[in-house]
Chains A and B, each alone.
Chain A
Amino acid sequence: MRRRSVLGYGAAAFGVIGMTLFAGWWRVDGPGAPQAVGARPLPLTEMEFSLTNHEDRTVGPETLIGSPTIAFFGFTYCPDVCPTTLADISDWLDALEGDAEKLNVVFITVDPERDTVEAMAEYVDYFHPAIRGWTGTERQIARAVEGFRATYEKVPTESGGYTMNHTASVFLFDAQGRFVSTIDYHEPREFAVPKIRRAMNDEEAEGA
């Protein structure tokens, strides 16, 4: 591992974050699971929200019951985290080959203002064909985020625009809609793919 150092404008905390980062934090699970205790996502069967997919069809948690699900939040104006997650997921789906067809893979935007149905359709088209894009009203997206016990926040930028902070973990549910686990942001394929397999095996174990 090469040594790297980062020094901000005297911001010691920044340096600490930077050092941790460049020590390869993304390979590490961090202090505990990304979900705080008690913040486990609801089963999909207990969530209530209604969104629109990138093909302009009404969708909701009930759409996902019957197949195992990979779901995550993001926004298409995100230059780093979201394309990385979408590309990582595309890579995992490639690793699953034909089994990828048995999965629901859903990218839910937290930025409905800019991520219209058309914007989502254009964007998901560049990634694995199994990936669906969901958008909707701000209220319905807030309900979806709440069901996943995820968070998001609109943050103004110095240029007068805004960006979104959001939960970057990927959520896995089995075919009955039960939460199985999360995959951390940028988790390597060799950890991510077995987790997805586990969500799929839960389905077979139940004989669904």
Chain B
Amino acid sequence: MKSILIAMLVAMTLPFGLATPACAGSGDVVVENAWSRASIGTSRPGAAYMDIRNAGDEDVTLTGLRTDLAGMPEFHLTSTNNQGVSSMSPVGEIAIAPGETVALAPGGMHAMLMQLRRPMEEGGTFPLTLLFSDGGEVTVEVPIRGIAARGPDD
């Protein structure tokens, strides 16, 4: 059963890059529907979105991000108050309970990619590594859509 599950997870993860399951908890994390928007040059920050699912039976905690694309990648939350004013602030750790999915989506959380080291070109991809509190890492290859993309299939 366990091996079937692992095979399933590997199969589901493959289109998005190779997961590196170092630990039982974060090793059961599945990332789906990853996407980002192209950038104009490198002066503006980018953002990436995805669904992060804890397919295991232990709590996992996301602690940060790493990518060679950006000098300062960080989880951010956009919030809009009842006056319609939007603001964006860094998120600390993100806990994901077993069976739950955290969505990074426009208007909610995003992987903020500050200090781009190269332009994000439409049609390309870049590797983004999710870091977990148990020392595990999951690397996904994030597709880059157009600047006006509204989702992973645009």
Contacts and interface: CB of A to CB of B under 8 A. Distances in A.
Contact of B93 (A2, A9, A79, A81): A9
Nearest to A76: B44
A45 B83 CA distance: 24
Contacts, number: 139
A185 B86 contact: yes
B107 interface: yes
Interface stretch (B2-10, B16-24, B136-144, B146-154): B146-154
A36 interface: yes
Contacts of A122: 40
Contacts of B101: 2, 4
A163 B107 contact: no
Contacts of A84: 106-107, 150
A104 interface: no
B83 A167 contact: yes
A79 B102 contact: no
A9 B28 CA distance: 23
Interface string A14-53: 1001100110001000111011100100000000000000
Contacts of B86: 81, 165-168, 185
Interface in B99-154: 100-103, 106-110, 112-115, 146-150
A79 B84 contact: no
| Interface SS, B side | strand
A185 B40 contact: no
Candidate in B79, B85, B103, B150 with the most chain A CB atoms within 10 angstroms? B85
B102 A6 contact: yes
Contact of B82 (A8, A30, A157, A158): A30
Interface in B56-115: 72, 76-80, 82-88, 90-97, 100-103, 106-110, 112-115
Given A5-B100, A6-B102, A7-B94, A35 B84 contact: yes
B47 A8 contact: no
A10 to B, nearest CB: 9
Give chain B's interface residue range (CB within 8 Å of chain A).
35 or more
Contacts of B95: 5-7
Given A14-B77, A81-B78, 16 more contacts: A6-B102, A7-B94, A14-B91, A21-B79, A22-B103, A26-B108, A34-B82, A79-B44, A79-B113, A80-B106, A83-B148, A159-B115, A165-B85, A167-B85, A168-B85, A185-B86
30 contacts: A4-B102, A4-B103, A6-B102, A7-B93, A11-B92, A14-B77, A21-B108, A21-B109, A39-B83, A77-B44, A79-B44, A79-B110, A80-B112, A81-B86, A81-B106, A87-B148, A126-B40, A127-B148, A155-B87, A158-B90, A165-B85, A165-B86, A166-B85, A166-B86, A167-B85, A167-B86, A168-B84, A185-B80, A185-B107, A186-B106
Interface of A: 2-9, 11, 14, 17-18, 21-22, 26, 30-32, 34-36, 39, 76-77, 79-81, 83-84, 86-88, 90-91, 122-123, 126-127, 150-151, 155, 157-159, 161, 163, 165-169, 182, 184-186
Nearest 7 Cβ contacts at the A-B interface: A34-B84, A169-B84, A168-B86, A79-B47, A9-B92, A165-B87, A126-B147
